[in-house]
Structure 1
Amino acid sequence: MPSVYQELPPPTQPPDMANAEIQPVADNRPIVFNRGRPTTVEEKLDHIINMLGAMKMEIEDLKWNKQNGYPGTALQVTDSDLNLPIKSIEELQTFETQVINDPDLKQKLVQYLQHFGGMSAKDLHTRCYKRLFTNALCEECSWKGFRKNFKMEDLTVTKCLYDAVNGTFPTTLKEFELLTRDYLRHAKQRKERELNKR
């Protein structure tokens, strides 16, 4: 009597790892995806499990960011919150003291500066300086404080600016220093152009 049950083929082997592609996630944990389209039920389940694992890691990262005060792309601070742009040395010294004494403000400042974006480190640096300081203030400042100028090199505000630029476009301290020196050096010309436009 013939069997009513059809004989099933033996189970397929898991996909050959030589044909797999490893794709890093943001924190460099590898997730393996099959290069070809999954065809068997087992391959499809493996693919789904891999995708669920990737989603779980992303959710864990988002939870960690939220718990540790990294809100992602949401901007939580504005010009008026920080009382910007800074117009005088006295205002800058007051703002510096506030940033030193308030770690939350320091973090918000970096986040605020990163929000401006740009096409390069120089572009972002320029955008940040325009928002932070008036040209009249920059005219009274220099990197090292030579010629009776106000020294910018050691300010916490300057470190926040570096963190914002470096966090978006990896930049060495020397490159950042050169960008700042150049920006401050041309403050007088920018101020004159600004006055001529009026």
Structure 2
Amino acid sequence: MKLRKILLHTGLTVTILISVFFSALIWFNPAMLQHDSKETTDTGENTTSVSKKTLSDIFLPLQATYNVNDLQYQLPSSENYLIGKVWKIMKKWNSVSTSTKIYKNSTDYLTFLKQNNALLLNYNSPITVKVFNKVFTQKIEGLSKFKFNRIMIPLENENYIYLMNDQSKAVCKVVINNMKAVKKIKTYL
């Protein structure tokens, strides 16, 4: 029994010493210190990639929905596909005047939102008209602080677009004087 106790205590002591030895190797390993210095070194790569982005790269809508025959279709949307093409068309439009309407209840707002033959360009979070003016090269005046998260483009020979805010149920109607390009948008759809 005494031999067993001595072996047990000796084995435990040796195990603790080996554990402390390997822990010290890990703590004082120069490779570990080099790894930390690499993480904190700034190579400057990130700053150059950020400066190359334009305002339109950041503030283009992220999602496109097509309302037709009382159905809604979510469309592939990337800068090189539908949203990018619609953005190039919208940059050529000229805004003439605006008017704002606030819907009292969600039902009326959703009915307006789901109207047929319309293209909806959706943002994840609201943007201001001031940013919209810069991205789409428009000159909408008097509403620079109006926030919206959807752009509705009616496709039935309309001469206006709608800027819509889902939270406040406010809709800004923007009259456009040269929307002949709506036919081109229809071909993309």
TM-score, normalised relative to structure 1:
0.23
The structure with more strand, counted as a fraction of residues: 2
Bigger CA radius of gyration: 2
The structure with more helix, counted as a fraction of residues: 1
